[in-house]
A and B are shown apart, each in its own frame.
Chain A
Amino acid sequence: MIHRFSYTAPTELTDLLALLETAGPGAKLLAGGTDLLVNIRNGLVKPNTVVDVKRIPEAHAIMSDNTKGLRIGWAVTINDILKNTDIASSYQLLQTCAHDLASYQVRNRATVVGNIVNASPCSDMAPALLCLDASIEIASSKAYRTVPVRQFFTGVKRTVLNPDEMVIGITIPIQSKGAKGKYRKLKRIQGHDLGIIGVAVAQVGDGMRIGVSSAAPTPVATGNLPLDISVSDAIAVVDALISPISDVRCTKEYRRFMVSEFTRRLLVEVRA
């Protein structure tokens, strides 16, 4: 890499947040690095300081609680999600989406928080987090707030985060425990590929929810739909939610068609 920067790896969250307040927009947070380091290499991002957020022990914690639900720390990797037995038994949709994210080596480094903070429309974790009603915990040196994931994304690569803030965790409410769901991602090949579109359908409590990636400026999801909603009604709701574009991967018409098709197939599969 030609671009030069300084590197720091705080070991306390308070130090990290204090640093974020003073460093300004020239500081970039490094978790898995699977986007940041590629962007630096390609000259798209030119930080003066790279702040490694992984040296703080609580960053890696996954906590499952019978009253509070599930909490994922800010440096939990995609493979941490896939190897966690509590998530396997109670929050299976997270694993289904995690499984479709990139390749094994990338999943060893890439983090769940990084996947949403990056705010790519093709985020693989976002459809699951939207369907499961996740809350995003945001901290700065001065304040702490939580934002529903539905309000977290504001545009392509844009979120509600202020420059002095960072995401310190994701919480899935206990009401989403035991949700049954599936995710299907349209790709050119079976293995490692970015999604052309992705659809998640989940039965959460007494409602059906549908999350979609790569078909709007941000990942999107329906609200609680009736459990017995007809396939054509569900498709109509989803179709009104998306606003796909044509790009190198495919046309907007094909995206719209495949979102409807995957919605149909997944509704049938999830109900089976």
Chain B
Amino acid sequence: MRLAMLRIENLTMKFGGVVACSRFNAEVKKGQIVGLIGPNGAGKTTVFNVVTGVYRPSEGQIFFEPREGERHQLVGLSPDRIAKLGVCRTFQNIRLFGQLSVLDNVFIGNHLRLKSNVFSTVFRLPHYTTEEKEIYEKSMYLLEKIGLQDMKDEKAYSLPYGMQRRLEMARALATDPQLLLLDEPAAGMNPQETQELIQFIQEIKDEFNLTIFLIEHHMEVIMEISERIYVLDHGVLIAEGSPSEVQRNEKVIEAYLGVG
């Protein structure tokens, strides 16, 4: 039995009278890639926002268990605390630090693990310069991984769309996450780029020992890499299971194609 790294129990999120997500239950086991799908407006990003602390849920519990015996309740924690515990994310509408360089974007991802205090960074004390060098090398390694090492001094906003998506992933990886939440990583990509992305996700999962929870509209992505899929429609869980089970599920077909 593998460890349930993320467990969402009875999650309900209301915005005024609108119920974005109702009594949602899900479990992501360590080392799995789990998909979350559903038509537009189904409440998928809301689930991510609640898990990462952007919103506080109206009801429900979220448990994060990075190691056996170390269990954290994520409800009520601030986003930066959650990131420090090892949950990091990318955004559906890319949120890079646009005016900063590509390298700095990844560099900032390391900031939460920085041990030096602010005065040792200003006076450039030896233990900070050593630490900075390590961060620099790690950031360059991540940039090489996504193939952006030659663009390290470009401003992030000036990159083409696909590269911005990859940079966002590198920045998230810089925080040393255990659990990575990817919000539509393949949005706006052509079939060839999508194939590369699938490979890339599998590669980083193996290399950094990640557990991945992802939202995606591209069915080929979700069907190919997910071990398990949750399907949301209007904030309600309508199906869960392996890709082939979900594909055959009538409720899912109905939600996506409408009733004939």
- Are A and B a genuine interacting pair, yes or no? no
Q: What is B's interface to A at a CB cutoff of 8 Å?
A: none
Q: What is A's interface to B at a CB cutoff of 8 Å?
A: none
